[in-house]
Amino acid sequence: MTKKEEQHEVRKWQILDIALNHFIRYGFYGTSTRKIAEEAGISSGLMFHYFPNKLALYEALVEIGCEKLIIDNGEGESPIIFFEKQIDWFLSVATQNNFAARMFVFMGLVAINAKDVSERATQMIKEHDVEAMSVPYIEKGQELGEIRPGDPMTLSVLFYSSVQGFAETLVSRDDLKLPDKEWFLAILRNENREYKR
Amino acid sequence: MTKKEEQHEVRKWQILDIALNHFIRYGFYGTSTRKIAEEAGISSGLMFHYFPNKLALYEALVEIGCEKLIIDNGEGESPIIFFEKQIDWFLSVATQNNFAARMFVFMGLVAINAKDVSERATQMIKEHDVEAMSVPYIEKGQELGEIRPGDPMTLSVLFYSSVQGFAETLVSRDDLKLPDKEWFLAILRNENREYKR
DNA sequence: TTATATATTAAGCATATGCTCAACTTTTGT
DNA sequence: ACAAAAGTTGAGCATATGCTTAATATATAA
């Protein structure tokens, strides 16, 4: 990698990092490309050398977020263990990597706003809809009696809402203690599992 | 109430309703007062007759949201019953009143953004911090063995995150089935309650 | 070395925004 | 009937925004 390519990569990620903060704080329409450039210490024009326009910058972040959120297919393993692994992964990422934690918050906001911003972003998050993708695991867990009965999509929403909400709070409150992963799993667990098996 | 006062009230709430949608979709800085006025079918100037500026409009909504979120002190009653009542109230309000459901979403966004928008709004939501206000109930429940052990604030955050997340999903997905209130309470419930009492 | 591609700036254009203000109309109280 | 108050408009000002572009500096490849 040449010196120039290195510098390009560094600057690109610097811009993305600052933009992530701005999109979280001010939303897409409230974010000013000038201010991102200013915070990065570069001219407004240079920003558009790295990203052709504000939308491309936003979509680049959504794409990164989607890549990070890839769900590993828990082939063969028990559904509860699948969700346990999800929590493990989430807790380690969210507490060790600030960019990733902020990315969780961003993706939560994107889920609310994307349809008013960009069709491509809407498409991307639809293809990486973790809540919908987890439904088969919940159904399987219900058959096995590991997961409580009830509408699988609603259960999925509740489970990931608690994860999402914790990430949001974590970013703004640095004094928050870590939860036990069992607290998340309790939403899914079937209390009567002894009797059903 | 005179004809004029009636009209004033109607128009005020019409503006608030439209503004609520805009603040949710575009954030504070991305929201255009002109477009709110346009959607309400009035001139831009008239908007500022009802609310002196955009910030006042925002703060009016935050104030309404805070009033709606008042937590009734569950004097004497069992902590779990207190949280059960919270869920009952939330589920009935969120499903029957669209304005209230959107208000939940708005207040969730305010919690993230208020500090970049208005000191007064920040102050208001701090004084109505349901998560913090519920901590004593959790502590009492832990003493009684009804609620699982662990950091009360973190438990509170998880509980209200699931509520908040469900409200957000409810607004954007009309096909979402209603959850059982036990699913929320499972986050708090002490599984070993039989042994501790 | 030199030609080419990239990095960078600063000025500027078209448009949008928050908000004010002078003018006019309608309602209200007497 | 009439004066005071409130409702309503549309033009306009100052500023901010997204983005382009001409010009210059710098690194890379031949």
pLDDT per residue as tens digits for the range B95-136: 998 999 999 999 999 999 999 999 999 999 999 999 999 999
Indicate the average pLDDT of chain A. 92
pLDDT of residue A78: 92
pLDDT of residue B195: 38
Question: Does B172 touch chain A if contact means CB atoms closer than 8 Å?
Answer: yes
| B27 neighbourhood in chain A, CB within 8 Å | 26-30
Region A29-50 average pLDDT: 97
Check A26 against B27: CB less than 8 A apart.
Answer: yes
Check B189 against A186: CB less than 8 A apart.
Answer: yes
pLDDT of residue A15: 98
Q: Is the confidence at residue B69, as pLDDT, over 90?
A: no
- The closest CB to that of B172, out of A112, A158, A183, belongs to A112
On whether the CB atoms of residues A128 and A69 are closer than 8 A, the answer is: yes
C-alpha to C-alpha distance for A25 and A185, rounded to whole angstroms? 31
pLDDT of residue B130: 93
Neighbours of A88 (CB within 10 A): 11
Question: Does A169 touch chain B if contact means CB atoms closer than 8 Å?
Answer: yes
Check A187 against B186: CB less than 8 A apart.
Answer: yes
Q: Is the confidence at residue B144, as pLDDT, over 50?
A: yes
pLDDT of residue A189: 97
Whether CB of A164 is under 7 Å from strand D: the answer is no
pLDDT of residue B184: 98
pLDDT of residue A54: 98
pLDDT of residue B57: 98
- Which residue of chain B has the CA closest to A174? B154
- The closest CB to that of A29, out of B30, B164, B172, belongs to B30
pLDDT of residue B3: 79
List alpha helices for B31-151, DSSP H.
33-40, 44-50, 54-68, 79-96, 98-113, 119-127, 130-133, 135-144
Query: In strand D, which positions have an atom below 7 A from any protein CB?
Result: 6-12, 16-22, 27-29
pLDDT of residue B77: 84
pLDDT of residue A3: 79
C-alpha to C-alpha distance for A4 and B121, rounded to whole angstroms? 46
User: In terms of C-beta density within 10 A (0-12 exposed, 13-18 middle, 19 or more buried), how is residue B151 classed?
Assistant: middle
Q: Name the pLDDT band for B4 (thresholds 50, 70, 90).
A: confident
| A105 neighbourhood in chain B, CB within 8 Å | 112
Q: Name the pLDDT band for B70 (thresholds 50, 70, 90).
A: confident
Region B41-47 average pLDDT: 97
C-alpha to C-alpha distance for A17 and A97, rounded to whole angstroms? 12
- Which residue of chain B has the CA closest to A181? B187
Q: Is the confidence at residue A108, as pLDDT, over 60?
A: yes
pTM of the model: 0.93
Across A188-192, B46-50, B68-72, the highest mean pLDDT is recorded for B46-50
Task: Specify the amino acid at residue A48.
Answer: F
CA of B36 to C1' of D14 (A): 22
pLDDT, one tens digit per residue, over A136-175 is 999 999 999 999 999 999 999 999 999 999 998 998 888 9
Question: Does A112 touch chain B if contact means CB atoms closer than 8 Å?
Answer: yes
C-alpha to C-alpha distance for A194 and B194, rounded to whole angstroms? 16
